[in-house]
Chains A and B, each alone.
Chain A
Amino acid sequence: METITHFIETPEGVKLPLKIAGIWSRGAAWLIDFLIRGLIYIMSVIVLSSAELFGTGLILLVIFILEWFYPVLYEVLRDGMTPGKKALNIQVLQSNGTAVDWGSSLIRNLLRTVDILPLFYGVGLFSILITDKNQRIGDFAADTIVTYGTDKSTLMKPISVPVQDVKQIIPLSLTDNFTNEEKNAFISYSERYDELSKDRRVELAEIIYPLLTKFEIAGTPENILYIAASILGNE
């Protein structure tokens, strides 16, 4: 399943893409939250049951809060992320990209009552599958979306080219012959080079080789790195 991208436009005219979370991440996040809630419930029973009737009252309050307000409190106070969502790096946002507010969070979580019907989130799953922004009924009512977080995105390190290995002198003007799409292929390959296994490096490089052989340059991963570096303007 391809990730859906939802574009928001800020009032300043900047268009930003939000990656809409899929059904598996949301399901897994829900499961983690379910286990955490179960754990809190069990612990509160162990601790409070010794307090007899007073304890029973508090246990009922704990159940009430876990059932209705656990997601609301986390979503509003912790950047749209319950512990489960945090683990899966997904986040609840208003559909305009801003943080979810108290009212919206309350609405989307009260309407879980509808989404869990008739069994196992049947309505919610169906709604997520057929709508373009993967929204369940609660999301529609609250005008919210669930997106993949961006907090793991960091600035990449500069591409390191193993210069000694580049025997062949490639003219710098060569890069002018590539289209923007082709240039991007070189750069994307280089940016991922360090995290690829040896076999995978060769495998992916073979896709780009036709571009090199066209100009009678030997097809090697090093040459790809070298060309990428010259596109980016590395010394």
Chain B
Amino acid sequence: MKQTEFVQVNRGYWQGIEDALNRLRYSESNLPEQYQLLSHHLAIARSRQYSDSLIQYLESLILKQHQLLYANKSNITERAWLFFRITVPQSFRNQYQYSVIASLLFFLPLIILPLIIFYQNSISDYILSADTMESIKSMYNPDNKSLGRERVDDSDWMMFGYYVYNNTGIGFRTFATGFFIGLGSAFFLLYNGIYIGAVMGYLVSIGYSESFFSFVAGHSAFELTAIMLSGAAGLILGNAILKPGFHSRKHAIKKAAKNALPLITAAMILFFLAAIIEAFWSSRTDFPVFVKYLVGILLWGALFYYFVFSGRHYRGS
């Protein structure tokens, strides 16, 4: 059979498939059958050396069918639920080493610096500029009507936007720069740990503990954990570049990104939740201080429970 006759016989059939693909209303039941027949036509066209344009036309139709046939058709909400319910906490536990290292880099200076500053007040002068100290001093002044960054009425929404934009952005950069054998992530973790530790130490040393801790208590669990997880995800990338093992670096980075994805996604969600809490809850002073501490402790507990116990009984996700 020559090409023209072959085209004449099948033209209508191809046109039908083309229309269905363009309308994106593909009848699922016909797809495998049509995919097979079209692959058959392509094989014929190739073996009989029909013209390039005909072969390209058939290839383009088959590629689209291939994408439809192998698209993930499972329900997105169900997949998201399973991802956060099982994949995220399991992946956190399966590669806990990275979170341990990230925690050491971040939480160690954050906890130790305030202790040092408590005994040696002048240390904070080396870390924080005079302007910074002046501004945080006025932010957490116990006489303020609202806590944190100076608030005027209705500024909660502005702060919410700012926290999402700024904090999540920092988290994303902490993750991505882990590509440089982990150095970027390590830098951001240390830098933020030292900065937050110095601020905490300074405010405690000038006697603003209650206003500071009652402000940060609510969002501390989500925000600090999110920073740590961004760093841990970045260290996974960095480790793949530094020690690809038996894989090529190209393959190692692909695998590492897959392993880091649950952690950075969890960090992203936690940053978002922390921004909501920080903007709309932390700054409120119309609740007793112990309620604010209680909420903070409960959220730390919830997060601990989630990462340690969630998804334990599911195997293979």
Contacts and interface: CB of A to CB of B under 8 A. Distances in A.
Interface of A: 10-12, 14, 16-18, 52-54, 56-61, 63-64, 67-68, 93, 97-99, 101, 103, 106-107, 110-114, 137, 140-143, 150-151, 153-156, 158, 180, 183-184, 187-188, 191, 229, 231-235
A63 B165 CA distance: 7
A54 B5 CA distance: 68
A156 B54 contact: yes
B67 to A, nearest CB: 5
Contact of B161 (A59, A67, A101, A158): A59
B291 interface: no
Contacts of B14: 155
14 contacts: A10-B62, A12-B36, A60-B164, A98-B66, A98-B70, A99-B71, A103-B265, A106-B264, A114-B180, A137-B253, A140-B254, A142-B257, A155-B54, A180-B49
Given A103-B261, A113-B172, A141-B237, A53 B155 contact: yes
How big is chain B's contact interface, by range?
Answer: 35 or more
Dominant SS among interface residues on chain B: helix
A41 B8 CA distance: 52
A-B pairs, top 7 by smallest CB distance, nearest first, are A233-B2, A57-B161, A60-B161, A113-B176, A150-B60, A57-B157, A141-B257
A155 B157 CA distance: 55
B66 A97 contact: yes
Contacts of A153: 56-57, 60
A112 B155 CA distance: 32
A155 B7 contact: yes
B169 A64 contact: yes
A106 B169 contact: no
Contact of B52 (A12, A54, A184): A184
Given A137-B179, A153-B57, A232-B4, A16 B49 contact: no
